[in-house]
Amino acid sequence: MGRPRKFDEREVLATARRVFNETGFHGTSVDDLSRATGLSKGSLYGAFGDKDALFQRIFDDYCTSAGQDAAARVEGPDDEALNRLHAWLRVPDGHRGSLGCLLAKATAELAWENEAIAARSRTTYEILLDSCRRLVEQAQRAGHVDPAADAEALGGLVVTTHRGIEALAKAGVDPATLNRIADAAIDSIALRVRV
Amino acid sequence: MGRPRKFDEREVLATARRVFNETGFHGTSVDDLSRATGLSKGSLYGAFGDKDALFQRIFDDYCTSAGQDAAARVEGPDDEALNRLHAWLRVPDGHRGSLGCLLAKATAELAWENEAIAARSRTTYEILLDSCRRLVEQAQRAGHVDPAADAEALGGLVVTTHRGIEALAKAGVDPATLNRIADAAIDSIALRVRV
DNA sequence: AAGAGTTTTGAACATACGGTCCAATATAGG
DNA sequence: CCTATATTGGACCGTATGTTCAAAACTCTT
């Protein structure tokens, strides 16, 4: 009972995430969030606590979801593993100004001063590294990658390449260039095939 | 004539850069800068203008220096080009908490909202890409990389790997892991040798 | 209809912020 | 020693910030 909520919590969180992702934590005021979500400041505080709690919540959700996505990418036949890695690296066609990854943005902005953010970032990256290692192992089993190669390092190379491509995309580097880099990364990994 | 300055401009700029690099632009107040540099706000404003001008100055200097460093890395004999690429990627031994790159931090935080920052970031990354392309071309001439490979894309792979390694370092990922990724990146590029 | 329980609202609050100003101070040249 | 000039450090201002709160609005139960 009680007065019902006028807003959809998931919608509000999605909007707040978008704003945080665009202007960062310190660059976003509670007024900005209030305006973007349509909720008054009082409602925001009532529903989510203070600004830090709201951000932490959004960041946690994002990391969880990123980890799940990574785990989901591992599922599938071995002989398509390389394609799945490739698809992950490619910049989407209609790419303008970059949606960007909250994990990257929050880590860059806050890891130094916020231990909770740093810890969550680290474990999330470790999940990504692990998923990519598994994908490389699949590609090895499929004969697409040298079975003697260090799967963990090669998987890591995919993760760093992904991060790097996004960083350059944020600076406005030509998407076509970035996609050729993605191709080169996969080619380099696949060239370790024993012919 | 008149009263001479009590501070060394370069020292102040270096300190301010460190602070900006740690807590970001929006996360750093003018009082923070004043405390860190030992200069009063009045002196800061007299010497460097407002907070935006100071940051832009520091960022410009950093980009210029990063571009020069990249250009300097190109100098040297062809048969050491691959080593120079490798050395650039390696994380320094005494690495704790990451010094980090102002270019990456500023781009992540501000590119979306600040056109001047975004433009400078883009041209700086293009200089980095160009330097790495030249280094790969050197390695090709030395016979360390397949001469038929796309040197621009392989050079880009080095840049994105570098960016990615730093992003993961910021999250606290084990430096040893990152160095194995750096090794893998160089190995992958070098494996394009025609034997 | 009345009451209990929630949420919304909009204003109020204290503080922190970026930015400005100025009297006091220190120095170089005349 | 004096004058001109630059720096200094702190007081000061208006605004924006994060946060709280009392009152109103609303739904469900009794």
Classify residue A114: in a domain, yes or no.
yes
Per-residue flag: A46 CB under 7 A of strand C: yes
List, for residues B86-124, the tens digit of each pLDDT value.
999 998 776 654 557 999 999 999 999 999 999 999 999
- Please give the structure tokens belonging to residue A190: 């696949």
On whether both B100 and B141 belong to a single domain, the answer is yes
Classify residue B195: in a domain, yes or no.
no
Classify residue A4: in a domain, yes or no.
yes
On whether both B110 and B16 belong to a single domain, the answer is no
Question: Residue B194 pLDDT > 50, yes or no?
Answer: no
**Total domains, chain A:** 2
* pLDDT for residue A12: 97
On whether both A2 and A78 belong to a single domain, the answer is no
Q: Do A164 and B168 touch (CB under 8 A)?
A: no
CA of B48 to C1' of D7 (A): 13
Classify residue B107: in a domain, yes or no.
yes
On whether both A43 and A63 belong to a single domain, the answer is no
On whether both A44 and A64 belong to a single domain, the answer is no
Average pLDDT score over chain B: 93
pTM over 0.90: yes
Question: Residue B22 pLDDT > 90, yes or no?
Answer: yes
Selected residues 37-96 of chain A with any CB under 8 Å from a CB in chain B: none
* pLDDT for residue A147: 92
Transcribe A139-183 into DSSP letters. Answer: HHHTTSS-TTS-HHHHHHHHHHHHHHHHHHHHTT--HHHHHHHHH
Residues of chain A with pLDDT under 50: 97, 194-195
CATH of the domain at A44: 1.10.10.60
Residues of B in contact with A62 (CB under 8 A): none
Classify residue A195: in a domain, yes or no.
no
Domain boundary among A30, A49, A68: A49
Chain center to CA of A35: 26
* pLDDT for residue A116: 96
On whether both A18 and A106 belong to a single domain, the answer is no
Q: Do B157 and A109 touch (CB under 8 A)?
A: no
Per-residue flag: A30 CB under 7 A of strand D: yes
On whether both A68 and A161 belong to a single domain, the answer is yes
Interface check B156 vs A, CB under 8 A: yes
Interface check A30 vs B, CB under 8 A: no
Q: What domain range includes position A43? A: 1-49
On whether both B32 and B84 belong to a single domain, the answer is no
Share of chain B above pLDDT 70, in %: 95
On whether both B41 and B69 belong to a single domain, the answer is no
Question: Residue B191 pLDDT > 90, yes or no?
Answer: no
| Dihedral of alpha carbons A176, A182, A188, A192, sign | negative
